[in-house]
A and B are shown apart, each in its own frame.
Chain A
């Protein structure tokens, strides 16, 4: 049949992000438990088969002999097959819910809406096709894994590119859907998903009644009458979106197919923000605490009551303890404009240095390293075919891009396949990113620096470096080279430390050195360590000596490009600050809160969820108990709210407007305020301005700045890098973004920064915006900065305190209750501990812990793509996709401990204990266990205690104040 329509699903491109699932439920208004499309994560019972992990989108196969149709007992049949297109559809208005079609389908591809008691199944989005659109799943797929079209054409295309279609017609039904086998072949036969992935049966699972508007609403009652472009405000991918309205309500969120970069591709998170806007759990009114702190008892109050009292109490605290006694912690949900704009201005007017975002929990190490080395936080490369898309090799070091920025990884994976580029993933886990790699290198956590040093050693020892680049564009090349060679940081040396064979290290070095364009990606796996800055600098050195800096298709890319917003209040309005910041990392304020040392912090205004997010939860909670005033601003009530004196409801996304998150490749996406926030919720900017007014700051924090566009254009972009990023320019484009830096509205956007013969914006006559115009690895200034902390600037290897082998470690010489010294790396005056690198010894902390039975490495990190910290846990569909806090553990270790898949287990470190569900997988080092962040004990569905009860805030990189969240010794047992 020549007109037969079909989906083609490329298993090499599918990254299991479940964006198709989210799109399908949006399009068809499906509620919890009902699926037309479902993505399965599968592993074979034999770990040696290829591929080790498979992501399988399941939907109706539109068979020529549909078993479901024949099983239907109704006459005329409820299920029909279109003769022309081959599409098999169910008439839901006539379905009696007998379930015969469900049990007849040998593919398990017929869904069922238990609430409505009827079968639901894919009809290739008949309504969309009638409007000339492709099915929803294909329209959003980040990896371009799902393609829609004429079946014959799809088959021919695949054949022409040498891709093999899986013959899955074992039931002689002639299924229409084409599945392309992974490039490495498909040996998997006995596939099964982890137990934690199976339908949730525990209490607290999302129910039909949890699905707010527009889910569960008939299509005719959610007809779209206008579409407005904008962007997602969740993660660093900064996807461009279209908001579809029915009247004044958003009924659908799709990708923006007019975007020349993303082309409509989005991950599930963007789509599930739909579940935030009408979420019945949203905070709607200011709340004042009535019970004990931590108890969670509140009464609603008016904004005036709340803000008047907060202002009065803040003034009292300032009178008694000084203005520095106020700490401000803001983060993702507050938004970049709030963090870098309103909060920054407020803190300058108030006079406190104790202001921080989540940066020291995530990325401060790479920021310090970028600033030292290239003089700017703007990452050079862009996700375009001509830049990142032209690389010959992609190396991921501690960066699970497929789950943290799925759309960008989908693009990279697509380019990899098109260009036959190499992809190597270095990670203790076989992450989704690693499943697409030519090679997964399961490194010992915390030893990426050793690997980088060994790679550099091999390159230098064999003269594989780009000598011209080293000579012309690097300062300190020779000093580093001589040091690395003298210290004998060879692949043989690193093999014992990293657990990666020396031969593989050499091969990795040669790939990086010889590829015509190598992108070295790094992320939290490199950042969240006590050697964060130095590890970043080592990998920067590797990129630089191989010429992979300031070129298309080559670079060191540690996401994301940090925000370039840094407005200031007029000098005469700056309140004096008498004392330096307690510590740059807000968890370093705990002693100041509990003991008043080095000086008291008595009040905290915070966003996000520190009571799940901050390491060392027991101490953090004790600290919050001791505050005199805690104000929590958020969209949902969470663990932190319970400790607050006031909980203030904030607006989210297009309720407040403004820019997206700081994007990886310097794009800034604009959102107009499109809908009203729920109840009395207000934008963060409104709250800071109103609070400021009560403290006498109304002349700077003007009423007009409640409008995000005015605030952006007048305050936020008054810099060389951002001056051209006006709302006018962004709104003139159908996709609403511009790429910074942009010194004027007329300036052209720069795809790749720091190209040879180019001039860095804001640094006339220089290729790189450093004092020398070169990449700076060693200068007297850098040497001096490190020596002030007692550390060498040259890359002397050290690792974490809690390791299964004895390695050099960083020893902090000053506790957080001690002033220490002033940080030479922090832009503001900041106390920091001095430190020294301590050689390995028998009486080490690690040895003590090992002797006490702590025999596994705990690694924490981001969960799969649908989740992002705690707020997505209020989205019913994200919880449906990934309901439980899980702990990935190797089968051999699980067997030794008598743990079965899906069993509740206890994980204990020297700092605390939590429980999680075991996910037994060969995709992790045998000695490691991985537990994701984000879950909390008060979340709406499936509550679990945060993994940060296991972490330790004292293990910090003194250079960046980054805390180690990736390497802690633990013991695991059955519950």
Chain B
């Protein structure tokens, strides 16, 4: 691989840091403009894909090539969510009329128990917080990952009982999360790819 292609790969990696930065910054309580960073993540991803394709030299049938396919899937899914998923979100307005009619008493006891469990757990996770308004943020995941995970599990249970998410349909409910998982897998793969490449360079070879 030529040094030009290597440097293009470096540039691609830098661009692809934008979505990572966006993901972290919007959760970090940093004084940033999330919508601006959303745009940065889109532009960075698109630029990163283009550069990564050039960097690959067309060698898709290789482990790094598979990474490129993963990146492509992530970007395509992200684009689909922006173009079509947002319309699906818009259609959710007014999609649960029966929620206004009462009669769902059977779940109230289950929900009461879940809320009580959350309050109890919150006493250890973030004692000053109000359960009504709380969800774990990045700092909680860094400080108390186990408690955060347990709390998130209770939140997911509550959502499951309420049925709102499942009612939205798998595509609407899960497409963004799949996008994030694919992105995370790609970032992990990229890190390995960079590590392997650096190792080879350090050994004096050509990556």
Contact = CB atoms under 8 A, between A and B. Distances in A.
B177 to A, nearest CB: 9
B98 A104 contact: no
Given A166-B102, A186-B101, A74 B168 contact: no
B134 A70 contact: yes
A414 interface: no
A97 interface: yes
B133 A99 contact: no
Interface string A90-106: 00011111111011111
B38, B111, B138, B164 — most chain A CB neighbours (10 Å):
B164
B101 A94 contact: no
A81 interface: yes
A102 B26 CA distance: 18
Contact of B100 (A56, A114, A190): A56
Contacts of B144: none
B97 A106 contact: no
A9 to B, nearest CB: 9
Nearest to A80: B133
A77 B165 CA distance: 20
B100 A193 contact: no
A156 interface: no
Nearest to B82: A117
A799 to B, nearest CB: 40
Contact of B92 (A71, A96, A112, A118): A112
B79 interface: no
A108 B93 contact: yes
B34 interface: yes
A99 B89 CA distance: 6
Interface stretch (B4-12, B54-62, B155-163, B194-202): B155-163
Contacts of B27: 73-75
A74 B162 CA distance: 22
A81 B133 CA distance: 8
Contacts of B95: 108
A189 interface: yes
Interface string A105-132: 1111111111001110000000000000
Contact of B103 (A67, A103, A111, A189): A189
Contacts, number: 168
B132 interface: yes
Given A38-B94, A108-B164, A114-B86, A73 B26 contact: yes
A774 to B, nearest CB: 54
Given A34-B90, A106-B96, A97 B38 contact: yes
Interface residues of B, number: 52
B34 A65 contact: no
B133 A110 contact: no
B164 A95 contact: no
B162 A96 contact: no
Given A40-B97, A113-B90, A170 B108 contact: yes
Given A94-B34, A96-B34, A166-B100, A103 B111 contact: no
B132 A66 contact: yes
B165 to A, nearest CB: 5
Given A40-B97, A104-B165, A114 B87 contact: yes
Contact of A191 (B86, B90, B101, B176): B101
A274 B65 CA distance: 55
B147 interface: no
B164 A106 contact: yes
A78 interface: yes
B23 to A, nearest CB: 9
B26 A96 contact: yes
Given A75-B26, A75-B138, A108-B94, A103 B163 contact: no
Contact of A172 (B102, B115, B163, B176): B115
Given A103-B168, A191-B98, A191-B101, A109 B34 contact: no
B118 to A, nearest CB: 10
Interface string A4-16: 0000000000000
Contacts of B86: 97, 99, 112, 114, 117
Contacts of B190: none
B97 A192 contact: yes
B20 interface: no
A102 B27 CA distance: 19
B172 A103 contact: yes
Nearest to B30: A75
A104 B173 CA distance: 9
Interface in B72-92: 82, 85-87, 89-92
Nearest to A92: B35
A66 B102 contact: no
Nearest to A35: B93
Contact of B35 (A35, A93, A105): A93
A899 interface: no
A96 B35 contact: yes
Contacts of A102: 89, 92-93, 168
Contacts of B131: 65
Nearest to B115: A172
B150 interface: no
A69 interface: yes
Nearest to B100: A168
A99 B28 CA distance: 19
A95 B35 contact: yes
Contacts of A107: 96, 99-100
A550 B86 CA distance: 59
B90 A114 contact: yes
B100 A172 contact: no
Nearest to B166: A103
Interface in A669-703: none
A929 B155 CA distance: 49
Contacts of A95: 34-35
A676 B35 CA distance: 39
Interface in A30-61: 33-35, 38, 40, 42, 56, 58
A172 B111 CA distance: 7
A75 B129 CA distance: 14
Contact of B26 (A56, A74, A188): A74
Given A114-B86, A168-B101, A58 B133 contact: no
B170 to A, nearest CB: 11
B100 to A, nearest CB: 5
Contacts of B102: 166-168, 170, 186
A118 B27 CA distance: 17
A111 B28 CA distance: 26
Contacts of A114: 86-87, 89-90
Contacts of B112: 172
Contacts of A103: 89, 92, 164-165, 168, 172-173
Nearest to A38: B94
Contact of B162 (A67, A69, A199): A67
A179 to B, nearest CB: 6
B3 interface: no
A800 to B, nearest CB: 39
A104 B111 CA distance: 15
Given A96-B38, A98-B176, 17 more contacts: A38-B94, A56-B100, A66-B132, A73-B27, A75-B29, A94-B34, A94-B35, A99-B85, A102-B89, A102-B92, A107-B99, A114-B89, A117-B38, A117-B86, A170-B103, A172-B115, A189-B98
15 contacts: A33-B90, A71-B135, A75-B29, A75-B137, A95-B35, A97-B89, A103-B168, A103-B173, A108-B93, A112-B92, A114-B89, A117-B82, A170-B103, A186-B102, A191-B97
Interface of B: 26-29, 33-35, 37-38, 82, 85-87, 89-105, 107-108, 111-112, 115, 131-135, 137-138, 155, 159, 162-165, 168, 172-173, 176
Q: Nearest 8 pairs between A and B by C-beta?
A: A170-B104, A108-B96, A112-B89, A114-B86, A65-B132, A38-B94, A99-B89, A106-B162
